[in-house]
């Protein structure tokens, strides 16, 4: 079976979303440069923006893995706490080689997410309840296991990844990590049958099951990939923070949702824009940096963060309203997509 026309419309729609974000970023950079001076576009500030945006983009992809299948991962920070504690212990206490520590952290991220997936499927509870519960379980468990200990990471390779430069003094090597993750996600969703099945499950789970899709297996795969990306985000975060503890991940939830939803991932599932996620993360951290440069008090910065998330949700609803009449005019049920055989 060929790719459904609905998928072509989703791709074109995601490109429009990405172009809108490019324009929004340009306006943001122009505005903050006009207000705050040339320091906003200085190498030091741009480096800080892309350093954070790279991590937030990967967090957005982690969140998108479950949003695409009409679920959500409120425990991204909890998984991050577990993975950060493990990474600190392996590198600082156990003296584990970096490559092995990275592998183990990613494996634990996958296992932590799979446990949530199995819990959802066996109990029938919503992903909201399950992941919210595991957010506390993982976050509290990590603090309890480490006793709140700080781990000072001294790996020169990890430091080079998070604090080195790539092609320009304004570009952090973590950008390459985010781009590679983005390319792999794009290949998954638009060149791989598993990605197509994930989109189909998110668009209409009942129709996907009737088409022969093993829904439980697809959902577990989405959880596993989300956990893997949380593990990658942990390594990225640790590479520039270096002094890490179990409190890491406490502020991951909001940027993960903003990057995903503002980037064009439909909250109802079945749609994704990888380029949109990357650009939304860049916009979000540009906004944070600009507000800091113009001396907005830190307690006020949370206000625009919440407004950006609210705006992203409203835009998502507007996109879905526009899509419904178009789908009906073509004689298709809203939210359905063909699954390649």
Question: Is residue 340 in some structural domain?
Answer: no
Question: What does the pLDDT read at residue 22?
Answer: 87
Residue 199 token pair: 């989109």
Question: Is residue 313 in some structural domain?
Answer: yes
Q: What are phi and psi of 262, to 5 degrees?
A: -65, -30
Contact 158, 238 (CB under 8 A): yes
Question: Is residue 121 in some structural domain?
Answer: yes
Residue 151 three-state SS: strand
Question: What does the pLDDT read at residue 13?
Answer: 47
pLDDT of the chain along its 341 residues, tens only?
A: 444 444 444 444 455 567 888 888 888 888 888 887 777 888 888 999 999 999 999 999 999 999 999 999 999 999 999 999 999 999 999 989 999 999 999 999 999 999 999 999 999 999 999 999 999 999 999 999 988 888 998 889 999 999 999 988 989 999 999 999 999 999 999 999 999 999 999 999 999 999 999 999 999 999 999 999 999 999 999 999 888 888 888 889 999 999 998 888 888 888 898 999 999 999 999 988 888 888 877 777 777 777 877 877 787 677 667 665 645 554 445 555 544 43
Question: What does the pLDDT read at residue 340?
Answer: 44
Question: Is residue 67 in some structural domain?
Answer: yes
- What is the C-alpha to C-alpha distance for residues 213 and 236, in angstroms, rounded to an integer? 34
Task: Record the pTM.
Answer: 0.88
Domain span holding position 24: 5-329
Question: Is residue 203 in some structural domain?
Answer: yes
- What is the C-alpha to C-alpha distance for residues 295 and 318, in angstroms, rounded to an integer? 34
Question: What does the pLDDT read at residue 2?
Answer: 45
Integer angstrom CA distances of residue 142 from 114, 232, 234: 18, 18, 14
End-to-end, the C-alpha distance of the chain in Å comes to 6
Question: Is residue 337 in some structural domain?
Answer: no
Integer angstrom CA distances of residue 186 from 171, 189, 195: 23, 5, 9
Give the up-direction half-sphere exposure of residue 242: CA atoms within 13 A in the CB hemisphere: 13
For 232-298, give the DSSP string.
Answer: HHHHHHHHHH-EE-TTTTTT-HHHHHHHHHHTT--TTSS---HHHHHHHHHHHHHHHHHHHHTT--H
CATH code of 186's domain: 1.10.3470
Question: Is residue 338 in some structural domain?
Answer: no
Question: Is residue 109 in some structural domain?
Answer: yes
- What is the C-alpha to C-alpha distance for residues 74 and 66, in angstroms, rounded to an integer? 10
Contact 284, 56 (CB under 8 A): yes
Contact 213, 341 (CB under 8 A): no
Residues whose CB falls within 8 Å of the CB of residue 152, separated by 6 or more in sequence, listed in order: 92, 242, 243
- What is the C-alpha to C-alpha distance for residues 213 and 242, in angstroms, rounded to an integer? 43
- What is the C-alpha to C-alpha distance for residues 36 and 49, in angstroms, rounded to an integer? 15
Residue 146, judged by CB atoms within 10 A of its CB (0-12, 13-18, 19+), counts as: buried
Total count of domains within the chain? 1
């Amino acid at each position: 079976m060929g790719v459904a026309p609905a998928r072509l419309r989703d791709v074109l729609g995601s490109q429009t979303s990405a172009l809108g974000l490019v324009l929004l970023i340009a306006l943001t950079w122009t505005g903050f440069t006009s207000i705050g001076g040339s320091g906003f576009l200085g190498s030091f500030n741009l480096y800080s923006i892309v350093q954070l945006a790279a991590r937030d983009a990967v967090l957005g992809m982690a969140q998108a893995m479950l949003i695409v299948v009409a679920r959500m991962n409120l425990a991204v920070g909890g998984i991050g706490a577990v993975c950060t504690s493990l990474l600190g212990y392996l590198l600082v206490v156990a003296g584990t080689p970096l490559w092995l520590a990275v592998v183990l952290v990613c494996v634990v991220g996958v296992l932590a997410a799979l446990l949530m997936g199995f819990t959802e499927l066996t109990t029938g509870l919503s992903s909201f309840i399950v992941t919210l519960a595991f957010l506390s379980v993982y976050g509290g468990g990590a603090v309890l296991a480490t006793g709140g200990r700080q781990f000072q990471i001294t790996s020169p390779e990890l430091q080079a990844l998070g604090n080195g430069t790539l092609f320009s003094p304004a570009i952090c090597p973590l950008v390459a990590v985010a781009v590679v993750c983005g390319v792999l996600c794009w290949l998954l969703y638009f060149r791989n049958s598993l990605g197509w099945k994930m989109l189909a499950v998110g668009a209409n789970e009942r129709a996907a099951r009737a088409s022969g899709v093993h829904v439980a297996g697809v959902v577990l795969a989405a959880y596993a990939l989300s956990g893997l990306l949380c593990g990658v985000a942990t390594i990225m975060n640790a590479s520039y923070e270096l002094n890490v503890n179990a409190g890491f991940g406490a502020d991951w939830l909001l940027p993960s949702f903003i990057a995903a939803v503002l980037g064009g991932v439909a909250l109802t599932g079945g749609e994704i824009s990888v380029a949109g996620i990357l650009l939304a993360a860049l916009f979000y951290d540009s906004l944070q940096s600009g507000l800091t440069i113009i001396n907005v008090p830190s307690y006020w910065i949370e206000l625009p963060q919440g407004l950006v998330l609210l705006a992203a949700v409203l835009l998502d609803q507007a996109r879905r309203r526009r899509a419904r009449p178009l789908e009906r005019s073509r004689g298709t049920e809203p939210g359905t997509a063909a699954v390649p055989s």
